[in-house]
Amino acid sequence: MLEALRPTSRRQYESCWKRFKIFLSAAHKPISQDTVLSFLTWLSTTGNRAPATITTHVAALADPLWFGAGIQLEERTLSLLKRGIRANTTPGPRTTPRWSLHKVLASVETMTQEQGEDEKLVSSLFLLALATGFRASQLAAFTRHTNFTSFGEDNTHLTLAPSHSFLAKNERSESLIAPLWIPALREGHRHLPLCPVLATRAYIENTRHLAPEHLFYNSRSHKPLRTRTISKLLCRTIKRADPGNSLRAHSIRGIAASQAFLRSRSLARVQELGGWASIESFLNRYILHDVQRPGCVALGTTPPS
């Protein structure tokens, strides 16, 4: 069953099951529905886990409990339990990005005019991170194969999908995230410098000698960029344009989704494009009410004309 999950989800589920087995040994209790509920309650009190973590444990334990012990937790019971945990949990402060998107985009716009491979890599990577709202792991899974990365006529759009060998968070092999359609950033028929479609096209053409198995490559070693390296590059890009602020590459995802929500006014659309298991994840952890409104493509949306 675990083979249907991406490697990081597999490790997470195995960790949840291991924690449950440790609880069983310490409590000297047989596996039953009451024991499972006691375990989930323990996670929120003694274990001091957040409500979202409880949901993850429920998902991780569901199949093993059903196929191994014939136990199926009732939705109503779980709903009341999680509601009670949420009511008794004080949420931590939301970390709002302090760096300026306007400053970073101004820096990236300058890079789009340069001819160096480094500049073309960074500008394409940042603009795609913003345009897709994807996690660094998803950006690392892009390829140059036309089945997964294709440009519209006259670069009107870019269609992107990670390799089928990759599963994103909250994604299963039988229910893959649909390819993402990225519109060009244009003024009339003219592409603007911050267009992610044009930046990606320029980067691919500049590095067309590289293998199609990956999209992004190290500019010096020409080895494929891994998740951690992509996160570091994105952070370095932000820090260079707006130094002195603590930051995480993942904050780009929150900014992209917030921009898309302000433009589309559709939570369902944001959830679909962002690949969240529930819209509460976006509302509780990512939405930025005071988000800036620059001219850029964000989570598949363009700024209002």
Q: Where are the domains of the chain?
A: 2-87, 101-285
Please give the pLDDT value at position 154. 92
pLDDT at 2 over 70: no
Measured over the CA atoms of residue 165, residue 167, residue 168 and residue 174, the dihedral's sign is: positive
Nearest of 63, 69, 50 to residue 10 by alpha carbon: 63
Say what the pLDDT of residue 236 is: 94
What does the block give as tokens for 149?
């990365």
pLDDT at 3: 60
Number of H helices, E strands in the chain: 12, 5
pLDDT tens, position by position, 225-262 = 999 999 999 999 999 998 877 677 888 988 898 888 88
pLDDT(207) > 80: yes
Computed from CA positions of residues 197, 198, 200, 201, in that sequence, does the dihedral angle turn out positive or negative? positive
3-state secondary structure of 259: helix
Return d(Cα 146, Cα 109) in angstroms, integer. Answer: 27
* Rounded average pLDDT over 177-182: 82
Neighbours of 249 (CB within 10 A): 22
Does pLDDT of 291 surpass 60? no
**CATH node for 101-285:** 1.10.443.10
User: What average pLDDT is seen over the chain?
Assistant: 84
Q: What is the pLDDT of residue 84?
A: 79
pLDDT for 59 beyond 90: no
Closest residue by Cα to residue 107 from 259, 242, 258: 242
Structure tokens at 92: 């931590």
Give the span between the Cα atoms of 280 and 283, in whole angstroms: 5
Tell me what percent of the chain is helix, strand and coil, each rounded to the nearest 5: 50, 5, 40
Looking at per-residue pLDDT, the higher value among 59 and 201 belongs to 201
Mean pLDDT is lowest, of 18-22, 44-48, 266-270, 271-275, for 44-48
173, HSE (Cβ side, Cα atoms, 13 Å): 9
Do strands 186-187 and 149-151 pair parallel, antiparallel, or not at all (unpaired)? unpaired
Domain range 2-87, its CATH number among 3.40.50, 2.60.40, 1.10.287, 1.10.150: 1.10.150
Beta partners for residue 298, in sequence order: 301
User: What are the beta bridge partners of residue 203?
Assistant: none
Rounded Cα distance between 251 and 291, Å, is 12
The pLDDT value recorded for residue 260 is: 87
Phi-psi map region of 70: left, alpha, beta (phi>0 left; psi -120 to 50 alpha): left
Higher pLDDT, 109 or 173: 109
